[in-house]
């Protein structure tokens, strides 16, 4: 395997004091990943976060997002959506694949790392408050006299819960269902939690909720639902979708002539605050800048996210009309909400 799983306390370089204060009592899983030949920050982000949010990976590692990667270099993935994408081999079963990534020994190591315990023989004290990671959410547990890391791992690690999580992530209705050689399985991070996506109520096929003792309570996380964008040029609206259902709708302005605004399926590949309007040399933040306060560039072929995008405006009265040179205009307050909510890699569908 090219990954090492590390449970860590939130915080790190590049984080503001407000973020550190907010996350001081949170924990997350980190993955150490060895870069393969030809990989980029974008492709790695697509693999582990499914959004292509390369800026997030660059920030975690303190790297310039525009610099190329060197094969063999190790990077850290903070709180990835997926731990791996595994290609099924002949003879594999769902149980065997589960055991490859999740077993009691690894869970005991996770308990130690999650709670900052360095010595398994002396690190557990009666009365101490432990964080117990579970697929159903985090459990807070008060250590009792006689408890050991081994006994806690034996109590809380249930292979069936993790097997169920893999089955659910891959649309396998029966957690013991068959898998086929050559099939690619997404291995979910069972402790995933992130503000950029939403949680949904658990489904009948979700991993079973563990029995919670009286001194702790699990916080359900639930399956991840990714955001997407749909732009309707017919009525000049931009809809943000969550799990295929409308979350928020905005008025826009689009191309002043038919065909100026490209239609099709794209992704957000660049995000810029106070973009410079190079055509007339107008700096970002200038009230006369027609791009407004934010730019979200689209992956229209051969444009590198610099020609077509979703941006603000200095002409709010144009919203709702056909007035642009091909881009999607929004009111500045609306595009700022979009900028803060939507990560790079988000799918965008534009239709007439």
Reply yes or no on whether 311 is catalytic: yes
Residue 211 Cα to chain centre, angstroms: 28
167-204 in b/e burial notation, b at 16+ Cβ within 10 A? bbbbebeebeeebeeeeebbbbbbbbbbebbeeeebee
Q: Which of 295, 284, 290 is nearest to 336 (CA)?
A: 295
Phi-psi region of 167 (alpha: psi -120 to 50; beta: other; left: phi over 0): alpha
- Phi then psi for residue 235, to 5 deg, are -125, 15
Contact, 288 vs 314, CB < 8 A? Answer: yes
Query: Residues 292, 311, 312, 334: which is the catalytic one?
Result: 311
Distance CA 334, CA 346 (A): 17
Tokens of 263: 């239609």
- Strand 224-225 and strand 198-199: pairing? antiparallel
Under 8 Å between Cβ of 148 and 111? no
CA distance 207 to 161: 5
| Pairing outcome for strands 322-324 and 254-255 | parallel
From residue 269, how far is each of 81, 277, 303, 341 by CA, in Å?
19, 18, 11, 14
Give which of 17, 118, 24 is closest to 9, Cα–Cα: 24
Catalytic residue among 238, 327, 342, 348: 327
C-beta separation of 240 from 268 below 8 A: no
Nearest CA to 246 among 255, 237, 254?
A: 237
Return the active site residues. 311, 327
């Amino acid at each position: 395997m090219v990954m090492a799983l590390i449970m860590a306390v939130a915080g790190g370089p590049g984080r503001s004091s407000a973020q550190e204060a907010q996350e001081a009592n949170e924990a997350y899983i980190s993955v150490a990943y060895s870069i393969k030949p030809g990989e980029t920050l974008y492709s790695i982000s697509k693999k582990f976060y499914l959004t292509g949010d390369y800026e997030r990976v660059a920030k975690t590692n303190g790297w310039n997002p525009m610099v190329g990667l060197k094969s063999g270099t190790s990077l850290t993935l903070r709180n990835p959506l997926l731990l791996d994408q595994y290609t099924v081999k002949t003879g594999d079963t769902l149980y065997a694949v589960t055991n490859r990534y999740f077993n009691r020994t690894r869970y005991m190591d996770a308990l130690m790392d999650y709670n900052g315990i360095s010595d398994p023989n002396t690190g557990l004290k009666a009365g101490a408050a432990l964080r117990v990671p579970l697929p159903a959410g985090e459990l807070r547990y008060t250590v009792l006299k006689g408890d050991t890391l081994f006994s806690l791992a034996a109590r809380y690690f249930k292979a069936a819960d993790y097997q169920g999580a893999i089955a659910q992530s891959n649309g396998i209705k029966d957690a013991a269902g068959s898998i086929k050689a050559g099939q690619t399985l997404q291995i979910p991070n069972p402790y995933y939690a992130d503000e950029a996506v939403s949680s949904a109520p658990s489904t009948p096929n979700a991993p079973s909720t563990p029995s919670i003792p009286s001194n702790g309570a699990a916080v359900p996380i639930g399956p991840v639902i990714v955001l997407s964008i749909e732009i309707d040029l017919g009525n000049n609206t931009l809809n943000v979708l969550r799990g295929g259902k409308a979350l928020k709708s905005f008025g826009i302005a689009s191309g002043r002539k038919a065909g100026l605004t490209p239609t099709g399926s794209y992704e957000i590949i660049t995000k810029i605050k106070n973009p410079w309007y190079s055509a007339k040399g107008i700096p970002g933040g200038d009230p006369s800048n027609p791009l407004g306060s934010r730019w979200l560039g689209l992956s229209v072929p051969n444009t590198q996210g610099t020609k077509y995008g979703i941006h603000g405006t200095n002409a709010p009265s144009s919203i709702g009309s056909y007035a642009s040179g091909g881009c999607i205009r929004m009111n500045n307050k609306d595009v700022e909400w979009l900028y803060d909510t939507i990560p790079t890699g988000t799918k965008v569908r534009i239709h007439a």
